[in-house]
């Protein structure tokens, strides 16, 4: 059975596609491609059909990650097929939990940085959209750090071991 993870930010052009690419790479490195499916979406549909922000693409490619992406909006019906919905900040967390059809679905929503012990109480990944390249680099660092703990949690859920 496939375990499905969806990363969600605001417009699905900066943070969530970055998290999707990084986590997909971690899943692949762990040899779990056939057991874990990774995608992303936005809470809003402003950028639906667009590619990732060029700065996201640049940072991902510079660090060796795949940057292929088409933005889409998260739909409440998706909860039925998802095992984990990863919000990039508290605003997304609240919005997604409000969209959840059941309490069980709401419990599937977690903050990405909650998987990073070094994050302490600072669990939001800041939106880099209105800033410069340094914000995108910082976003990537946060995503990479949290992806390690997230992979451990997913491996535990699927009964696999990271390679």
Q: Which residues are catalytic?
A: 9, 15, 127
| CA distances from residue 37 to 18, 26, 51, 84, 143 in whole angstroms, order as listed | 15, 12, 20, 11, 17
Tell me how far apart the alpha carbons of residues 53 and 110 are, in angstroms, rounded to a whole number: 24
Residue with tokens 């969600």: 8
Residue 30 has a CB neighbour count (10 Å cut-off) of 18
Beta-carbon contacts of residue 96 (< 8 Å; ≥ 6 apart): 8, 43, 74, 85, 87, 106, 109
């Amino acid at each position: 059975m496939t375990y499905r993870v969806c990363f969600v930010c605001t417009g699905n052009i900066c943070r969530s596609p970055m998290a999707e690419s990084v986590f997909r790479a971690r899943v692949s490195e762990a040899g779990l491609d056939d057991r874990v499916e990774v995608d992303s979406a936005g809470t809003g549909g402003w950028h639906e059909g667009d590619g990732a922000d060029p700065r996201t693409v640049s940072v991902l490619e510079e660090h060796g990650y795949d940057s292929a992406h088409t933005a889409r909006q998260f739909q409440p019906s998706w909860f039925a097929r998802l095992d984990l919905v990863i919000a990039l900040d508290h605003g997304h967390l609240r919005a997604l939990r409000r969209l959840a059809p059941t309490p069980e679905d709401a419990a599937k929503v977690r903050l990405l940085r909650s998987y990073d012990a070094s994050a302490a109480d600072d669990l939001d990944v800041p939106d880099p959209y209105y800033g410069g390249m340094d914000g995108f680099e910082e976003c990537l660092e946060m995503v990479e750090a949290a992806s390690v703990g997230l992979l451990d949690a997913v491996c535990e859920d699927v009964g696999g071991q990271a390679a």
